[in-house]
Amino acid sequence: DVKVTQSSRYLVKRTGEKVFLECVQDMDHENMFWYRQDPGLGLRLIYFSYDVKMKEKGDIPEGYSVSREKKERFSLILESASTNQTSMYLCASSLGLPAKNIQYFGAGTRLSVL
Amino acid sequence: AQTVTQSQPEMSVQEAETVTLSCTYDTSENNYYLFWYKQPPSRQMILVIRQEAYKQQNATENRFSVNFQKAAKSFSLKISDSQLGDTAMYFCAFQGGSEKLVFGKGTKLTVNP
């Protein structure tokens, strides 16, 4: 079974802190994604990566950056956390071929910025 | 840009009954994929069912089936013999010519005993 692991289930941070959310997948998937989930808004794509060191902005990249130094790991960085970044963050990965495009999700990180 | 609309924010159904969740989408692409994902309370999101647009036959997975109407751009999910474990948020999603998914806002389904 594919396993996507997010390093923390819950995080509490202060405004202005630099925050790292980590995600690791164990199935050698090409693509990795970071989403933000808010009630009534569904999932919105922040960034995705289709290869090591490659990234592409999603729909809401402002205030976020990402890093993918190794194929299995994709990090989401909040350079200076703000209260409006309080949310649930979901990581996902996929193999990337047309017939293998199912995304597998991690359990999520619920971030509170105070 | 593609959009996905789920018009039912919340639904409820009695155990063992059948329920249908609606999803419509907008796209100018001809080849694409549609998905239903399920997110149980405090648990991770999993795939329920996937439909390839060029396949006319509706996808089925056990108690879950879809009604895919390509011309109407409609992709509803039918859950038969509902079980308590079906209680979850259900998200409809579209994938066109890129690896990105576009999600609807979700439908919260409650199965009542």
Q: Is B99 on the interface with A (CB under 8 A)?
A: yes
Q: What is the DSSP track for B77-110?
A: EEE-S--GGG-EEEEEEEE-SSS--EE---EEEE
The DSSP bridge pattern shows strands A19-25 and A73-78 to be antiparallel
**Cα separation, A108 vs B43, whole angstroms:** 8
Tell me the pLDDT band of B31, cut-offs 50, 70 and 90: confident
Render pLDDT for B42-70 as a digit per residue (tens, 0 to 9).
888 999 999 999 888 899 999 999 999 99
Nearest alpha-carbon partner for A38 in A46, A50, A27, A30: A46
Region A36-57: what's the mean pLDDT? 93
Query: In 3-state terms, what secondary structure has residue A83?
Result: helix
Q: What is the mean pLDDT of residues A80-90?
A: 97
Decide: B46 and B86 in contact? Cβ < 8 Å: no
- CB contact under 8 Å between B100 and A45, yes or no, is yes
Distance from CA of A40 to the nearest CA of B (A): 6
A105 contacts chain B (CB < 8 A): yes
pLDDT value at residue B43: 84
**Chain B partners within 8 Å of A33 (Cβ):** 100-101
CA atoms of B50 and A87, how far apart (whole Å): 28
Residue A4: both structure tokens together: 């996507």
Residue A98's pLDDT is what?
67
Average pLDDT over chain B, rounded to an integer? 94
Closest CA to A101 of A56, A43, A42, A48: A48
Among A31, A32, A43, A51, the residue to mutate for chain B (most B Cβ within 10 A)? A43
Between CA A27 and CA A30 the distance in angstroms is 9
Residue B1, pLDDT score: 75
**Exposed e or buried b for every residue in B78-92, given b needs 16+ CB within 10 A?**
ebeebeeebbbbbbb
Burial of B29 (C-beta count, 10 Å sphere; 0-12/13-18/19+): exposed
